[in-house]
Amino acid sequence: ALLQTCSNPETLEAAAGALQNLAACYWQPSIDIRAAVRKEKGLPILVELLRMEVDRVVCAVATALRNLAIDQRNKELIGKYAMRDLVQKLPSGNQQHDQGTSDDTIAAVLATLNEVIKKSGEFSRSLLEAGGVERLLNLTKNRHRHTPRVLKFAGQVLMTMWGHAELREVYRKHGWREADFLTPARAAQPRGNSNSSGELLIDTAPNT
């Protein structure tokens, strides 16, 4: 209710930060929280908050969505209804569009995207159709502008997309090659906190 009715950025950031922490773990209370947010129609509110121009709110909301996506049904809903809003938060190469988004927010968005697509060819295709590959490659080609963490996460998302073998011909028809998906991840090594399952490990503590 607070996220729906409040317009104060500090309060929204705190509420989203609390939610991201409550939903972060694998024990029963976090499982219950993830289900409760869905049942109380909280996901559409969070997706709408992605459209805010307040970077720290978007960062907290994106991380909350990533943690909520641990729940399979939440993941499906986020993949279906939040994909374009998430992609819109990635740098496009337009300086005016990009200047308001911090690397922390970009990393949070990338982690959410990876969580949503890592076991879903359908959502990987949605990411492609939303212009995600262009934006991911824009990130990796502008290495001087972004932190190693962002570059690593972008490379991981591209590698996850390529991992859906059934989509490789679709990618090629869009003009992309294997190297577009695999070279950025290799360039980001050996740094990294990605594990063998393709999960990106990100900090879930709220900003202080």
Sequence-ordered list of residues with C-beta below 8 angstroms from that of 180, at least 6 positions apart, any chain: 133, 137, 158, 171
> Which of 2-16, 53-67, 82-96, 192-206 shows the highest mean pLDDT?
53-67
**Domain residue extents for the chain:** 2-188
What pTM, to 2 d.p., does this model score? 0.86
When pLDDT is averaged across residues 10-35 and rounded to a whole number, the result is 91
pLDDT at 108 over 70: yes
Q: In terms of pLDDT, which residue wins out, 121 or 93?
A: 121
Query: For the chain, what is the mean pLDDT?
Result: 87
* Topology, domain 2-188: Leucine-rich Repeat Variant (1.25.10)
The confidence score (pLDDT) of residue 5 equals 60
Distances, alpha carbon 54 to alpha carbons 61, 101, 149, 160, 198, in Å: 11, 9, 22, 29, 30
3-state secondary structure of 15: helix
pLDDT, tens digit, 9 for 90 and up, residues 45-67: 999 999 999 999 999 999 999 99
